[in-house]
Amino acid sequence: MTQTTAIAEREGLQPHAADEGLSPNLQAHIGRHLRAVFDEVANEPIPDRLLRLLKDLERSGDK
Amino acid sequence: MPQKVSASLRDALVGEMTNLRAFAVSLCGDRERADDLVQETLFKAWNHLDSFREGTNLKAWLFTILRNTYFSERRKRRREVEDADGSYADQLASRPEQHGHMEMQDFRAALTRLPDDQREALILVGAAGFSYEEAAEISGCAVGTIKSRVNRARNRLSEMLGLDETTDNETPLTKSA
């Protein structure tokens, strides 16, 4: 028995319902949307408040 | 303890900030809270840089700090707020991000409704570019557990979004104009 099957069974789930992979087509669909959500934020500039914090941290290290 | 940080390490840290923010937003579904998380992560990372060995995986180290911060907050909140349906995620899902077209809004809302551990595994492997092994290390669990969570997350999303084999997989997600 594979480890994932064991986990599914321990949790009372149908192994094939919970753990089996989706078709490549649906996996690709989800992957595309997931990366779009992630990349949208990753492509934004770093907010000022975080840059300010970084400056403050550096300054505190200089003392 | 504040300390002097080498310029190269500082630059590397800044270089990971955009990915770290993307992880935080995808994980908690709320930009303001995400930036709080990143801020706290940056603060902790800076003050514990002596425990980071230069040359090892900085990105994974930062992601680990962020997810530990997120999950310990979630546990605390859960103890404090025992609401009737017990789901903080539902609250988040009811106020989705305001931009992006309908399909993306639906996807974001569905992502927010996944169990935390499944959402985390899916983002680490499916968007942040980590291997199953790295994701397992970040989440502090077995590789098999990560694989199982990723599969469950995909199955659940597919159910929530009503995907089937005829689902359109070609149309670009972002407007070209």
Confidence of residue B129 (pLDDT cuts 50, 70, 90): very high
Q: Which of B96, B154, B105, B97 is nearest to B125 (CA)?
A: B154
Is the distance from CB of A4 to CB of B143 less than 8 angstroms?
no
Highest mean predicted confidence (pLDDT) among B5-14, B18-27, B39-48:
B18-27
**Percentage of chain B surpassing pLDDT 70?**
81
Other CB atoms closer than 10 Å to residue B105's CB: what's the count? 14
Mutate to test the interface with A, among B59, B152, B174 (most CBs of A within 10 A): B152
Highest mean predicted confidence (pLDDT) among A53-62, B25-34, B97-106:
B25-34
More confident residue, B35 or B3: B35
Question: pLDDT averaged over chain B?
Answer: 85
Query: Which chain B residue has the Cα nearest residue A52?
Result: B39
Compute the distance between CA of residue B138 and CA of residue B96 in angstroms, rounded to an integer.
27
**Contact check, Cβ <8 Å, A37/B108:** yes
Query: Which chain B residue has the Cα nearest residue A30?
Result: B154
CA angle B116, B119, B122 (to 5 degrees): 150
- pLDDT tens digits for B86-99? 455 555 544 444 44
Mean of the pLDDT values across residues A15-34? 81
Predicted confidence at residue A10, as pLDDT, reads 53
Cα of A20 to nearest chain B Cα, Å: 6
Give the number of residues written for chain A.
Answer: 63
ipTM above 0.90, yes or no: no
**Contact check, Cβ <8 Å, B147/A60:** no
Predicted confidence at residue B127, as pLDDT, reads 97
**Contact check, Cβ <8 Å, A8/B144:** no
DSSP SS3 for B131: coil
Question: pLDDT averaged over chain A?
Answer: 78
Please say if the pLDDT value at position B63 is more than 90: yes
Please say if the pLDDT value at position B176 is more than 70: no
Q: Please report residues of A whose CB lies closer than 8 A to that of B107.
A: 33-34, 36-37
CA angle B160, B92, B82 (to 5 degrees): 105
Query: Which chain B residue has the Cα nearest residue A29?
Result: B169
Which tokens belong to B21? 């923010």
Q: Please report residues of A whose CB lies closer than 8 A to that of B23.
A: 38
Is the distance from CB of A37 to CB of B29 less than 8 angstroms?
no
Predicted confidence at residue B61, as pLDDT, reads 96
Please say if the pLDDT value at position A62 is more than 50: yes
Residue B158 has its nearest CB partner, among A26, A57, A58, at A26
Cα of B155 to nearest chain A Cα, Å: 7
**Contact check, Cβ <8 Å, A21/B169:** no
Cα of B81 to nearest chain A Cα, Å: 26
Compute the distance between CA of residue B21 and CA of residue B17 in angstroms, rounded to an integer.
6
Confidence of residue B10 (pLDDT cuts 50, 70, 90): confident
Confidence of residue A34 (pLDDT cuts 50, 70, 90): very high
Q: Please report residues of A whose CB lies closer than 8 A to that of B103.
A: 33
Predicted confidence at residue B82, as pLDDT, reads 56
Predicted confidence at residue B84, as pLDDT, reads 45
Predicted confidence at residue B155, as pLDDT, reads 95
* Amino acid at site A9: E
